[in-house]
Structure 1
Amino acid sequence: MGKAGSIWVAWVRRKYLSRSTFWALNVNSQSISWSFRKILKLRPTAARFLRIKVGNGDDTFFWWDPWTPFGPLLDFLGKDAPAKLGIPLSSLVKDVMLNGGWNLPPARSEAFLQVLCYIISIEPSQIWNAIRASKPPVPWAPIIWHKKQQL
């Protein structure tokens, strides 16, 4: 959902998206307004037209957002994939990276092998450099950090 300043967007964010991603909301929930349920029913159609720019991965849900050509990975790999692969359902893309590389389990199915082949083709160092705090060295650093500990 956009970050527009409308009252409706603010209401939707607070009421429905404060505890869940747009893609995970239950379209049959009676706690969701009739009009918003109609919007939720259009998710599969809308997803075909979305192109997500992952950036540093802190705004992109690993399982829910259609950030790969396979669409939402939860749909492509199955509802049991988070448990099988040990990647929590609420994970962001940045959560499956470690020290500038991908931190993914080995493929356990043909479908996950396809996903892995795609993901490892993405240059993670670009994402890592975007999410890590990078600052110029301070003059007092040698007093605190031993040379062998500096990165």
Structure 2
Amino acid sequence: MKKKVWLFSSIFTVCLSTYLYFHSPNVYQDIKKTDIDLYQTVERNKEWVIVFDKGINELLLNSDNIYVLDDRNNHIPVKIQREDNSTIKILPPKEGYKTGTNYYLFINKDLDIEHLGRDTQQKEYKIAFKVDKNV
């Protein structure tokens, strides 16, 4: 059973890392509803697990550097948990995400020790997701 969990976690991490690498637009760009095709569909109580290969810059581990906005740019209160030296978990709001609503998860690239101090044009990863009642 542990091997299956480890395998699933590894596959998920590779997929998420690949997605974040190729789909990391600048947070300062306007959020557009035309991006709807790029949204991941998730359940109301989605817990995001983010793994940083080289570790976490713990000085930046706070709600200013990891946050969720809805499609009206409203800040959504989520809880950030550090699981270990390279993994964080982002818990949903107490009441869950609203069905039919689009959201954006932003993660500061400097949280990843591998990217710390690198001068890049894009400072944050952005994951677009929506909540569907059928999930």
TM-score, length of structure 2 as denominator length: 0.28
> Quick check: which has more Rg, 1 or 2?
1
Considering fraction of residues, name the structure with more helix.
1
